[in-house]
Structure 1
Amino acid sequence: MSKTQVSRISISVASDLLRRFDDHIKRLGYENRSKAVQDAMQSLVTESKWMCEKMGKGVGAITMVYSHSVKGLEEELTDIQHQFEEAICASMHVHLDEENCLEIIAVRGSASDVRDLAQELKTRRGVKQLKLAN
């Protein structure tokens, strides 16, 4: 059995982000940071592949966390969803706390329409995180 070749890299990261990452991976049971970073990188590559490469039709879900205190954002997000109504099956809105909301959007249809919808949503000021899963 051959070993996978590995590359040693160096990155710069904000101290607070590194502290939160280390706390989180400890809770998840990782024994070292390298394995956690590898898993995070693999997850990013796998998830973004659908965003970049998938053609034809498909189904999936968009999960989005946003600040509901950004003036006009909720209306803007609703308007965008109406522009892509053929790709949206359903949506659910969850109040996370006084500042943040979670929107879960079930999508079905053209992969390019779903990608365009996700791109339109995630570029809005106040959208903190958006993930597209298939």
Structure 2
Amino acid sequence: MQRITISLDEALLTAIDERVGTHGYQGRSEAIRDLLRAGLLGEQGGDPQAACVATLSYVYDHGTRELSKRLNSAFHAHHDLTLSTLHVHLDQGKCMEVSVLKGTVGEVSELARHVMAERGVRHGSAQIIPLSEVDQSGADV
């Protein structure tokens, strides 16, 4: 690991310190490393051929015409990516699903974009974690 020096304005440093406290980090460096990883991976999307695991979560209106059928078809078309799915009824009209996926960054990203773009899907989010970021012992590299 290399040590670097950066300059931050007071408001940004305060926000980082708050995150350290609320997220249970051991210190600023750990929090900043996580924020950088998330920002850089989000921007670049990573190597499309790299292996990854991911969670795809979204809320949808189950009354939207044939949405459940379209979502079901999308996941069946990508059955090799899906490890598990949790389905929760939030109220009379809304459901939440969380799927755990494993495949390449490109395949998982494509499925996530497709699902979140469906009419009637709300609040979609994908958390993609490249497996190259984890060594054999499971510790962050």
TM bucket, shorter chain: 0.5 to 0.7
Task: Name the SS of the counterpart of 1:120 in structure 2.
Answer: helix
Instruction: Please report how far the alpha carbon of residue 52 of structure 1 lies from its aligned counterpart in structure 2 after TM superposition.
Output: 4.8
Structure 1: runs of 5 or more not aligned: 7-28, 30-42
Query: Quick check: 1:105 aligned with 2:99?
Result: yes
The answer as to whether partners of 1:64 and 1:128 remain within 8 angstroms in 2 is yes
Answer yes or no: is 1:87 the counterpart of 2:81.
yes
Per the TM alignment, residue 46 of structure 1 is displaced from its structure 2 partner at its CA by 2.8
The letter of the residue matching 1:62 is: L
Shift of 1:4: 2.0
Give, in angstroms, the shift of residue 63 of structure 1.
0.6
Whether contact under 8 Å (1:66, 1:100) holds in the other structure is yes
Name the residue aligned to 2:38: 46
Is the 1:61–1:104 Cα contact (8 Å) retained in structure 2? yes
Listed as ranges, the matches of 1:51-130 within 5 Å are 52-55=44-47, 56-130=50-124
Q: Give the length in aligned residue pairs.
A: 100
Q: In structure 1, what is the Cα distance between the partners aligned to 2:101 and 2:121? A: 19
TM-score by length of 2: 0.61
Structure with more of its chain in helix, by fraction:
1
1:112, 1:54 → 2: CA distance? 9
**Closer, same or farther in 2 for the Cα pair 1:51/1:99, shift >3 Å?**
farther
Identify which of 2, 8, 17 aligns with 1:4: 8
Over 3 Å counting, the alpha-carbon distance change for 1:54 and 1:106 in structure 2 is same
Q: Which residue of 2 aligns with 1:32?
A: none
| Residues 15-37 of structure 1, C-alpha deviations (whole Å, 9 max, x = no match) | xxxxxxxxxxxxxx9xxxxxxxx
In the alignment, structure 2 segments of 5+ residues that lack a partner are 11-21, 23-34, 130-141
* 1:51, distance to aligned residue in structure 2 (A): 7.8
The percent identity for this pair of structures is 21
- The Cα RMSD (Å) is 2.9
